[in-house]
Amino acid sequence: MDSISYKTVYANKGTINKQWYVVDASEKVLGRLASQIAAALIGKNKTDYTPHSDNGDCVIVLNAGKVKLSGSKLADKEYITYSGYPGGQKRISASDLVNKKPIALIEEAVKGMLPKNKLGAEMYRNLHVYDSDQHPHQAQQPKELKIK
């Protein structure tokens, strides 16, 4: 009987090949867009996915202010922050947040879908969100990420 040994290969910093992708967020639904961006940042779209390493790609999101929210979420959804001090709770509706800081909607949605540890913070640094259709990352030659 032949003894065949299989060795599991894990991705590490030396073997990771990060790609750059660009996504146009105009007229896309926020939740579906954020989940596919998070999957690309984590690296789940790659064959060499390794849960304990950052082998995800870099994602550039354009036209962040033109993203859609389904239903009545634009008026009803609230983003809550708390400073830790008495009376330090702040609430802002999604419509006010779009007017005040349009990139925050996508950043918050994607950040909530990443791991809640140091690795998730490292993955979050690979997200670049812009309100216009221009970005300063032309030198990386980003490809278009297909969002369904």
Rounded Cα–Cα distance for residues 111 and 126 (Å): 11
**Residue in 99, 131, 128, 141 with CA at minimum distance from that of residue 37:** 128
**Residue in 51, 67, 58 with CA at minimum distance from that of residue 10:** 51
Residue 28 scores a pLDDT above 70: yes
Amino acid at 122: E
pLDDT of 1 = 58
Rounded Cα–Cα distance for residues 57 and 45 (Å): 9
Would strands 20-24 and 127-129 be described as parallel, antiparallel, or unpaired?
A: unpaired
In CATH terms, the fold of domain 20-68+103-134 is: Ribosomal Protein L13p; Chain: A; (3.90.1180)
pLDDT of 9 = 80
Q: Mean pLDDT over residues 113-123, rounded?
A: 97
Q: What is the pLDDT of residues 74-99, one digit of tens each?
A: 999 999 999 999 999 999 999 999 99
> 32-69 burial string, b = 16+ CB within 10 Å, else e?
ebbebbbbbbbbeebeeebeebbbbbbbbbbbbbebeb
pLDDT of 5 = 78
Question: pLDDT band at residue 68, thresholds of 50, 70 and 90?
Answer: very high
pLDDT of 3 = 73
Question: pLDDT band at residue 4, thresholds of 50, 70 and 90?
Answer: confident
